[in-house]
Structure formats: structure tokens, C-alpha cells
Amino acid sequence: MTEKEYKKLVDIALSRCFLTEEDYPVKGLAEAMRYSLLAGGKRIRPMLVLEFCRISGGDPEAALPVACAIEMLHTYSLIHDDLPCMDNDSLRRGMPTNHVVYGECTATLAGDALQAEAFGAILRSELPADRRARCAMHLANAVGLDGMCGGQFLDMLGEGKTLSASELDEINSRKTGALLTAACLMGVAAAGGSEEQEEAASRYGAALGAAFQIRDDMLDVLSTEAELGKPIGSDREEQKNTYMALYGAEKCVELIDRLTAAAKTALQEAFQGTSLLCSLADSLARRRS
């Protein structure tokens, strides 16, 4: 499949999530969950799940619940990132953020429910039990204390301080890289792939995640609100440590190129037919939004 075909497949599957009858008692919460889940986005993480499943010898359509799960988890993280107690953003993907539309309490619960439903989607899928368990394990590892939540905590502690390159890498490997790496690992796990394939997928995901974060930091300075669909310059205003502040644009481009090459090299060691994943790495390295 192409990137567009994968995105369409995921978008259709997500549109069928959390549909409710008019008299459903918690219909308002489901609406808030769907609002952010269906607000757009590139669907990079679900695409990684499906394509890694394919190149590991599995059926991407059988892994669709897993792909939807990681997008639910990612959406929860965005809703919570935008809350007044966190980044206090009013715009996401060109639309008002969840708490602006539904209120802070409902937005918080929408994120909480999406996190729980992500694991439910995996565990209720028709994949063999051992594959479901492994997918859920990879996701849990990526988002808990040693993953995304831990990274957010370290990021918060670092505000107003000057961090070293290694400290910044530690934050972003958890905050951004962990979930992208999990997407790759979950794809291999959904297919019942080998340890060698998981190792290669992990290295691809880690390099992709590092490059993605550096590019994110660049765009917060160099892009526009219209292109990004969210406010720009917030990193500087909140005194956050970024790769742009640490290295400058030229060095950031060099690092992204090096990491992108490393991601593509990792694929060659355990997979065949990786042109889509190589193309994806290249396009993310030069994205404008």
C-alpha cells in the first residue's frame, strides 16, 4: 500500500470508533474523544504499525486495531499536552484544542479514556493472544514511567534551565521517540516477527524519532502557524530546551540527515521491500508541518 492508502484505511477505521446512540449516558465524553481522534494528522504511527507488520510477513489489515490503538494513545497525549496545566495551547491541527471546546475536565477525561481504550483495542483484536500481549507490552513500555510520561516530566523539570545535549536526548527519546519506536515494534509483534526484526525496527524507530523531534524544534522557529496548525514560538516563550537553541539550524539539518540515513540502514539488516519506510523517513526529515 501507499502512504495515502494506509492513511485512508486508518481514517475509516478510526471513524467507526466510539459511535454512540443519542441517549447514551456518556455520549458527551465519546464526542470529545472523537473530536480529537478525527481532527486530522498524518497517521504516522499507525502507518508504521501496518507497514512493519507487512514487511515482517503479516497481514496489515489484521493489525488495524493495533494501528488504531497507537493513534488513540497519541491523541490522548496531545489532548493532555494542550491542557492549561501543561502547554496551555488553544490550537491543534488548525482546530481549537479539546479543552477549549469541551472544557478542561471533559478534555482530561477524554484523554484518560483514550489511553484505556488503546489497550482495549489491542486486547479485543483477533490477533493470536501472544501477539496481542506483546503489542500491549510494547505500548505500555513506551508510555509509562520510562517512556512518554517520564519524558514529559523531565521536560517540565528542565524548563528555565540549560540542559546538556545528553540530557535533551534523554528527554526526547522518551517524550517523542518511545512512541514512534513502539509503533515499529508493535507492527513486528502483530506479524509474529523475529527478535532480529524487532531489533532492527527498534533502531529505525529510535533514529526516526530523534530526527522527528529535531525537525519539530526547527519548525517551531522557522514555520508558520498556518503551516503547523498550532502556535509557533511556544518553546522559546516557555523557556524550553530545544535542539534549535542548542545547535542552530545548520547543525540540526546535519543531525537529521545523519539520523535519517541510520534509520534506513537499520531496515536493510532484517527486512526486504522497505521503500515506503525509507521514503517516509526522507519526507519526515523535510516536512513543513
pLDDT of 243 > 80? The answer is yes
How far is the C-alpha of 206 from the C-alpha of 174, rounded, in Å? Answer: 10
Phi and psi dihedrals of 228, rounded to 5? -80, -25
Predicted confidence at residue 2, as pLDDT, reads: 94
Domain that includes residue 189, residue range = 3-285
Q: What count of residues does the chain have?
A: 289
Integer Cα distance of 11 and 5 in angstroms: 10
CA dist 205 and 195 (Å) reads: 15
Q: Which helix (H) or strand (E) holds 96?
A: strand 95-96
pLDDT at 37 over 80: yes
Contacts of 219 (CB under 8 A, 6+ apart): 227, 228, 232, 287, 288, 289
Written as one letter, the residue type at 144 is G
- Round to whole Å and give the CA distance between 74 and 82: 13
Mean pLDDT over 196-206 rounds to: 98
**C-alpha grid cell for residue 257?**
540527515
pLDDT for the residue 123: 98
Report pLDDT for 114.
Answer: 98
Mean pLDDT for 115-137 is: 98
The torsion angle over the Cα atoms of residues 123, 104, 7 and 191, rounded to 10 degrees, is -20
> pTM for the whole thing?
0.94
Distance CA 58, CA 247 (A): 41
CATH number at residue 228: 1.10.600.10
pLDDT band at 231 (very low <50, low <70, confident <90, very high): low
Quick one: pLDDT at residue 240? 79
What pLDDT, on the 0 to 100 scale, is given for residue 159?
87
Q: How many domains does the chain have?
A: 1
Confidence class of residue 191 from pLDDT cuts 50, 70 and 90? very high
* CB-CB contact of 204 with 49 (8 Å): no
Residue 237 has pLDDT above 90, yes or no: no
